[in-house]
Structure 1
């Protein structure tokens, strides 16, 4: 196999991505999935370039290395699900490591193979009832946020989540690791209403008007973050507002393999997003996973949906958006507060958007500010870090990042992914000051 396409090896051509044909009957065919898994796993076995990314690859390679022939042919395919269970859809293997992605003839797409495995497992209800219930609750982020903030429920939740003893007792029922921090749910804050911009200036593909997609995280877990973005946009002469009525982007359900729920979320959100775009608004989301869903995953899952293709062209990471404005001389660079030493963890779901290190570049515009970048996963994944069976591995993945953070002794730790920053803070033994990069930009501007 290694000689057939040797002139094509190396992944030197720009990678392409095939649509996910998840509604075709063959997608959930277990035998066809196992056959494709054998093909892809065998390529991975001969390469092993991705071994340091996550636990999927060490799990696969251990199965092979501990087998009778030290080859894939002697691995029981009943164990293939162990590889799937360790994947948290970071997409780094496809975008940053694998030399055999399309247009290479081998056409390796490991993340979407894992998605297929997750979808089959979800349909077959392979997990215990308690684990399935836990996964459904954890990935129903909008509903969970509403329930956790109800009167009396909020007090009970806060009491349990802050008690190590209570968490340990409940761990066997909830399936949540006793050492994992439970998410905090914040009451909604008063929405900041920016001033109207009288002189709206377009720049390249940006309209100068932004509707902010809050998603479940900014709505439930860090409710001041969206206001920080609105203030930064206003300070840069961009007309900005919050979207209303939007729901979770569907990424948690994608990771679960519940593709019907992903479609349900898409059908709710896409008309809202399209309406804003038709009114000449661009879309920004503060969470890289949300942006990635609309830029990549949803267009691949629903290739026939032309509305999604349009949304894909009008949704931005906040620093991608500000960078476009900056390159056109439209970014406000009047910073008044230096930030000292910042350690910046580049979020996986931002890295795989292939927009470049925009966050780092813009933070470095702040005088007397030094930014040290860590391009390695924190191991959080939203649910991977809290589940009883994977928490240990998430901490293992995080430790190299935490060591670099601790050694750098930063004034601020930041990441575009708020959960990544919280994971690093949780694993670290040092007291860290964490803040989202947008909040740091706001601070540097001196904006209250």
Structure 2
């Protein structure tokens, strides 16, 4: 007799992506129907994202009101709406392993995308090109001002062309490229002796290799610079390492093989730092999730991947660890204006607690308002024409909560999520009303500001 739900801690099975049955469409359809029928009977997840309302509407509007009269051809919109945020698996579903029903909805959506691409002979072209983060970043670095002009929202010359040719919604706010990468900047800072480790700090002796992440490296090196300053102020020697992208953009489209290639490359390169006694610190929640959890499920037999997964901290998690074990360097001052702290889904999915909030609450006399709802961004999900409106719909509640807080800053462990929330608020305000928008920040930038390390 099956149990009605489970109180056991969720566990995940390795992704069986190298098994030919993984891509068998008939086998996949049977599993989709098995899982969808269980979801239909439960419906706890109805308010998490658009996948579930789409599924339940399909069933409710069918001839029988049950899954048996829903055509498998109608499943595509359900799969499309999943952002792989993992919130259903981690926070809602009572039937995840070790329950005998064995549900893993996000990884089933991943399988569906992988199988569809296999059947069609390739992955969606535009998403595949956008996912080439290192190639795109290296190209854009050389022409950053031109690239940023062309991608600027409101550019009536380029954005309509980009929408028509590439399917990138003209209304979407695209990330800007830095003229100098974080890795290049770090090398210059080290050569000039600008990173001075505080030998009097309680945590002096720690060593951290910062995994730059593609977004920080190419788009927002200021986050990395702030992290290095905070770590140095707290006695932590740091180096910057970036062997390549974690592959999350490829995972979104179901290209698991490409993710595995990236994982092997990065894990092999980071091995020397682990052996030299460095903790590995990542600067965005999505990358932390990939290195800690997704990579070991994709390559369960790879020792480099396993060892890396056990050595990785998110930057907020790492600073909180210092605070608890050695204590932070004194001198944190209040941050005026308050902070709306968005909890990124990929941080929540790591099941480590709200570390960004825990870290920022170490700052005295500072207003911190927590926002837990999804921002709706989801990587390319928030910029593509076919999903932009849906992304804005999903993120509306979180944006309203940020707006209601009337704080000067909005932070997120996912920098793109913070930017998306600002864009949502700007869209809500409209042309006639123009109150000051919150400034999007990474939580570590708030700590750096509280220490007086950045302005």
* TM category, shorter: over 0.9
Pairing partner for 2:321 from 312, 319, 324: 324
Instruction: Please state how far the C-alpha of 1:101 moved relative to its aligned partner.
Output: 0.5
Deviation of the 1:53 alpha carbon: 1.2
Q: What is the distance in 2 between the residues matched to 1:241 and 1:117?
A: 39
Preserved contact between residue 62 and residue 69 of structure 2 (Cα < 8 Å): yes
Paired residue for 1:32, among 24, 27, 38?
A: 27
Indicate whether 1:165 and 2:166 are aligned: no
Q: Deviations over 1:110-168 (max 9, x none)?
A: 011011001012222389xxx922111111111111222334x8525523534442312
1:14-413 counterparts in 2 under 5 A?
Answer: 14-125=9-120, 132-151=124-143, 154-155=145-146, 158-166=149-157, 167-188=159-180, 190-191=185-186, 192-193=189-190, 194-196=195-197, 208-243=206-241, 245-413=242-410
CA contact (8 A) 1:9 1:104 kept: no
CA distance in 2, matches of 1:65, 1:86: 18
In structure 2, how many angstroms separate the alpha carbons of the residues matched to 1:216 and 1:136? 16
Task: Give the alignment's TM-score, normalised by structure 2.
Answer: 0.91
Distance across 1 between alignment mates of 2:310 and 2:370: 28
Listed one character per residue, the Cα deviations across residues 25-77 of structure 1 (whole Å, up to 9, x for unaligned) are: 11111111100111100010011111111111111111111110010110001
Q: Does 1:424 align with 2:421?
A: yes
Structure 2 CA distance, aligned partners of 1:266 and 1:156?
29
| 1:384 match: secondary structure | helix
Corresponding pairs, count: 435
Q: Distance in 2 between matches of 1:284 and 1:355?
A: 15
CA contact under 8 A between 2:320 and 2:355: conserved in structure 1? yes
- Cα contact 1:115–1:255 (8 A) shared by 2: yes
Verify the 8 A CA contact 1:201 1:208 in the aligned structure 2.
no
TM-score w.r.t. the length of structure 1 is 0.93
Unaligned runs of 5+ residues in structure 2 are 430-434
Question: Partners of 2:273 and 2:352 in 1: how far apart?
Answer: 23
8 Å CA contact 2:335–2:446 kept in 1: the answer is no
Q: Distance in 1 between matches of 2:121 and 2:69?
A: 24
Alpha-carbon separation, structure 1, partners of 2:147 and 2:211: 30
Q: Report if aligned partners of 2:198, 2:233 keep a CA contact under 8 Å in 1.
A: no
How many angstroms does 1:319 deviate by?
Answer: 1.4
Could you report, residue by residue, the CA deviation over 1:355-404 in whole angstroms, capped at 9, with x for unpaired residues? 11121122112111021101111010110010000000000011111111
CA distance in 2, matches of 1:387, 1:249: 21
Superposed structure 1 runs of 4+ greater than 6 Å apart: 199-203
Q: Measure the CA separation in 1 of the matches of 2:18 and 2:161.
A: 42
8 Å CA contact 1:10, 1:99 repeated in 2: yes
CA distance in 2, matches of 1:141, 1:387: 16
Backbone CA RMSD of aligned residues: 2.0
Which residue number in structure 1 is paired with residue 432 of structure 2? Answer: none
Instruction: Indicate which of 435, 451, 454 corresponds to 1:445.
Output: 451
| Aligned-pair CA distance for 1:88 | 1.1
Q: CA deviation at 1:176?
A: 0.7
* Counterpart contact for 1:54–1:86, Cα < 8 Å: yes
| 1:200/1:208 contact within 8 Å kept | no
Which consecutive unaligned segments of at least 5 residues does structure 1 have?
Answer: none
Give, in whole Å, the separation in 2 of the partners of 1:177 and 1:95. Answer: 31
